[in-house]
Structure 1
Amino acid sequence: MTVQAEAPASSADTARARIRELIISGDFAPGSRLRERDLSQTLAVSRVPVREALQQLEAEGFIDASPRRGATVKQITLRDVNELFEVRLSLEVLAARLAAQAAARGQSSSRLQQMMDQAEEATLRHDHAQIPLTNTALHAEIVAMGGNSLLEYSMKPLLGRMQWLFTLTGHRDPQVQCAEHLSLCKAIYDGKPDLAAALAFAHVELGREPSLQGLAGRLPES
């Protein structure tokens, strides 16, 4: 059987990923204007894919757009963070359950194990730039492993916001998060849906209060 190579990313996808990266890193601060011409020059692409990228990032909640001001980086608030946790409590619990059910049916968990290894390595290195990236990739793989295309489609725009949250909450102990991830992944490898769902719920809920407390004073209420 011939394995088809993945289609190369479009210019708009590449521009979106780069702009999102600059927003998450803080290079593009909340409230700063994003001008198509400047972005086109910075990213060395035409204005058409930049325009498409900005439209996608608005849909994902990274920018605000208005006819008068154009595109500006969204100011994330404590309310936004809390709402993200509420949605994660539903979708990620379902994702963990479905992934464990897939493992119980004999589906390979090798890719999830690879993502967990990378996240653990980044944690052990105290690589604070890579930890949010690898943790986000781990959560994305749990969703993908479940094989539910609608859930994957629903989670796709949230994963970028999760990476943004993980970057903002770098003050949290990464060792604790890594230990929770290891327990969750083991339940998935072992094909235990109820345990995986319970651990996913606990993992998300245990992170809510420390995240909100750590961001209080740094982010506006709403």
Structure 2
Amino acid sequence: MATPITADVPAQDPAAQDRVAQDRVSQDPAAQDSAAQDPKGPGESLSRRIYDQLREGIIRGRYPQGTRLAEQRLAEELSVSRVPLREAVPLLAVDGFVRTLPRRGAVVNTWTLGMAHELFDLRLCMEVGAARFAARQVGLGRSAQPLRDVLERSREGVRTRDAYRIAADSTEFHEVVVDLTANTLMRSVMRSVTGRMMWLFYLTSDLDADDALDGHEELLSAIESGKERVAEAVAYAHIERDRDESMRVLVERRGIANLA
């Protein structure tokens, strides 16, 4: 759940993203040189670093919703050639940050209440069951310590008053709940939407941080109890409460329209 604080305005698997980029490079000899590993990070491709920079810029609002991502300007700003930039943009599209339009190129997606509701609907379908299965795994002996660790980091993040970190920690908490299920397919689906989740958490960072932590603590306790139905019910209530509060912030503070 998002939490407040200062703001400048669910994650496809990173390994899968690199494979997508590598496939494109293997089909395009002209792009092979650009896919060389980035000297700033061993094992990290240049296109991945560009993706990370643009993703953060979109979430923080440096690239506002509806803005066209002009290739030449971005290449100059990031001090890169256009080829790795073109490799990064499709990954942003897959993760819901941009859409590509004829003759306009990549444009930052614009949130509507309809889009936000769709994300919450998906979270209900996936995370309620994930909480149940996570509790089952804990009941069978799996440790919930990774989730406890994320919650403690979240408390530290709240003290920093950094909205971006708080949104990232909140996203990670929900991701680790799914990790506890040991369901590979569910984890893959979750990672395909974590980018959207973090973006929405950041946009709704006016929400109360302590309330968010209390909700996560309640969900963690339910999962640690090993009681599947209790965890399921707590997860459902948590997401619906987050939906109601988020919609209020989107309308009152962000002026987001009720469009499909």
One-letter amino acid of the counterpart of residue 157, structure 2: A
Correspondence for 2:21: none
**1:162 Cα deviation from its structure 2 partner:** 0.7
Correspondence for 1:171: 206
- 1:16-48 CA distance string (max 9 Å, x none): 222111001000001111123333333344433
Q: Given the superposition, is the C-alpha separation of residues 77 and 147 from structure 1 closer, same or farther in structure 2, using an over 3 Å criterion?
A: same
Are the counterparts in 1 of residues 60 and 164 from structure 2 also a CA contact under 8 Å?
no
The yes-or-no answer on 1:110 pairing with 2:145 is: yes
Correspondence for 1:61: 96
The yes-or-no answer on 1:214 pairing with 2:249 is: yes
2:191 to 131, 156, 177: 156
Q: Runs (4+) of structure 1 moved beyond 6 Å?
A: none
2:233 to 191, 198, 206: 198
Q: Which runs of 5+ in 2 are unaligned?
A: 1-14, 16-41
**TM-score normalized by the length of structure 1:** 0.90
One-letter amino acid of the counterpart of residue 17, structure 1: D
Q: Given the superposition, is the C-alpha separation of residues 189 and 46 from structure 1 closer, same or farther in structure 2, using an over 3 Å criterion?
A: farther
The yes-or-no answer on 1:131 pairing with 2:166 is: yes
Q: Distance in 1 between matches of 2:207 and 2:142?
A: 33
Q: Which has the higher contact order (CA 8 A, sep 6+)?
A: 2
- 1:43-95 CA distance string (max 9 Å, x none): 34443332122111112221121121111111111111111111111111122
State the superposition RMSD in angstroms.
Answer: 1.9
One-letter amino acid of the counterpart of residue 137, structure 1: E
Correspondence for 1:87: 122
Are the counterparts in 1 of residues 138 and 144 from structure 2 also a CA contact under 8 Å?
yes
Are the counterparts in 1 of residues 64 and 108 from structure 2 also a CA contact under 8 Å?
yes
Are the counterparts in 1 of residues 96 and 195 from structure 2 also a CA contact under 8 Å?
no
- 1:145-173 CA distance string (max 9 Å, x none): 21111111111121111111111111111
**1:125 Cα deviation from its structure 2 partner:** 4.5
Q: Distance in 1 between matches of 2:179 and 2:78?
A: 30
User: Secondary structure of 2:53's partner?
Assistant: helix
1:39 to 74, 77, 90: 74
Taking only the aligned residue pairs, the percentage that are identical comes to 36
Q: Given the superposition, is the C-alpha separation of residues 42 and 145 from structure 1 closer, same or farther in structure 2, using an over 3 Å criterion?
A: farther
**1:106 Cα deviation from its structure 2 partner:** 1.3
Q: Distance in 2 between matches of 1:67 and 1:24?
A: 24
**1:124 Cα deviation from its structure 2 partner:** 4.2
Q: Distance in 1 between matches of 2:168 and 2:147?
A: 15
Q: Distance in 1 between matches of 2:161 and 2:205?
A: 11
Q: How many residue pairs align between the two structures?
A: 217
Correspondence for 1:184: 219
**TM-score normalized by the length of structure 2:** 0.78
**1:192 Cα deviation from its structure 2 partner:** 2.1
Q: Indicate the larger mover: 121-130 or 165-174.
A: 121-130
One-letter amino acid of the counterpart of residue 95, structure 2: E
Q: Which runs of 5+ in 1 are unaligned?
A: 1-5
